[in-house]
Amino acid sequence: MSETTHFKTLVTGEQAGQRLDAFLALQLDAYSRVFLRKVVQNRNATVDGEVVKPSFRVQAGQTVEVDLPPPPDDGPQPEDIPLDVLYEDDDFVAINKPPLMVVHPAKGNWKGTLASALAFRFQSLSDVGGPTRPGIVHRLDRDTSGVILVAKSNEMHLKLSNQFEQRTVEKEYFALTIGRLQLDRDVINQPIGPHPYQRDKMAIRGGHPQSRPAETWYEVQRRWGAITTVKVRPKTGRTHQIRVHLTHAGAPVLCDRLYAGHAEITRGELLRRQVQRMPTREEDAEILLNRQALHARRITLDHPRTGNRIQIEAPIPDDIQRVIDALEHESAAG
């Protein structure tokens, strides 16, 4: 990797008003805000070509550029972890991220990350996101499985990132929810910001200075009593957006520890919920799912080099399929 990384981006309307150091910290989460503030103070960042202070408030349409020295943390250690490659060419790769895999190293999760697997598998990846995020263009939560894009060069990384910023990328998720969605199809338009009491959660927060507009479309696929399969398309990309919006609609994602209040479901619990029969001891002990039932199923984008529209799909993972199979079995038996 190069000693200095040049990062360039355009401020969107939703980002207007943020302090420059805060804006950069949101764009470059491999670097701490304190580190980025020092970069700005050292005159290594410009807005529309002008050197400014960390407290400068960015406005829509402005161009932010920064020369980034390596962050204090080293890059991920390469690890020989199998990867499910959905698509690959000379410009980028699409990986089917398994559930329970952290995307990049962070406190408490230094090994077994997607970044470590990528560092082992690929010789050349972009370093726009910093050394701890080789090639990684966007995010998926640890417990969320599915399609994630990885760029092989800085040029392709910036072109892909621009598509996300311009919202020309179409993302489709598959979810199992617990509760009751009143409508079979709806668009949820509710701003999302930090939870007022719990630091690791987000919440619907209109009027809060850190809240951002968020829009999610969903469509019910099938209902099994309190459990529903749902197709979800987020238009924006806020932290925990789908999880917060579905909770707001009355049906949090199944096994979502933060928003549903439970982290796993056994076959026995499923039977109690769905068919009200007493399970066997073996059924009570059989864990069907131990992470949030959210899967990034499909992504549609313009190829960053050719401009051709392409679609990449990840099959439903085994753990979510186990729950569906159990629901279908009990439905047929009933």
Q: What is the DSSP string of 24-78?
A: HHHH-TTS-HHHHHHHHHTT-EEETTEE--TTPBP-TT-EEEEEEPPPSSPPPPP
What phi, psi does 35 have (nearest 5°)?
-60, -45
Residue with tokens 């309190």: 226
Number of residues in the chain: 334
Q: Domain 5-68: give its CATH code.
A: 3.10.290.10
Q: How far apart are CA 88 and CA 285, in angstroms?
A: 40
Q: Please answer whether residues 302 and 309 qualify as being in contact, where contact means their C-beta atoms are separated by less than 8 angstroms.
A: yes
3-class DSSP state of 213: coil
Q: 251 vs 248, 255, 296, CA distance in Å?
A: 7, 11, 18
Residue with tokens 């509710």: 190
Q: How far apart are CA 50 and CA 146, in angstroms?
A: 41
**Residue stretches of the chain with pLDDT short of 50:** 1
Res 69: pLDDT: 80
Give the torsion sign (CA, 171, 174, 177, 182).
positive
Q: Domain 85-166: give its CATH code.
A: 3.30.2350.10
Q: How far apart are CA 173 and CA 294, in angstroms?
A: 7
Res 108: pLDDT: 65
Q: Please answer whether residues 162 and 169 qualify as being in contact, where contact means their C-beta atoms are separated by less than 8 angstroms.
A: no
3-class DSSP state of 195: coil
Q: How far is CA 305 from the centre of its chain?
A: 24
Res 264: pLDDT: 94
Q: 144 vs 102, 182, 275, 292, 330, CA distance in Å?
A: 9, 25, 28, 7, 26
- The helix or strand, by DSSP H or E, that contains position 156, with its residue range, turns out to be helix 154-166
- The closest of 94, 133, 92, 88 to 114, measured between CA atoms, is 133
Q: Domain 172-333: give its CATH code.
A: 3.30.2350.10
Q: What is the pLDDT of residues 167-189, one digit of tens each?
A: 999 999 999 999 999 999 999 99
Res 1: pLDDT: 44
Q: 161 vs 7, 49, 185, 202, 301, CA distance in Å?
A: 12, 21, 29, 24, 11
Greatest Cα pair distance in the chain:
70
Residues that are catalytic:
141
Res 147: pLDDT: 99
Q: Please answer whether residues 255 and 264 qualify as being in contact, where contact means their C-beta atoms are separated by less than 8 angstroms.
A: yes
Q: Would the pTM of this model clear 0.85, i.e. be above it?
A: no
Contacts of 136 (CB under 8 A, 6+ apart): 103, 104, 114, 115, 118, 129, 148, 150
Res 27: pLDDT: 85
Q: Say whether 85-166 and 5-68 share the same fold.
A: no
- In the chain, where are the structural domains located? 5-68, 85-166, 172-333
What phi, psi does 309 have (nearest 5°)?
-75, 125
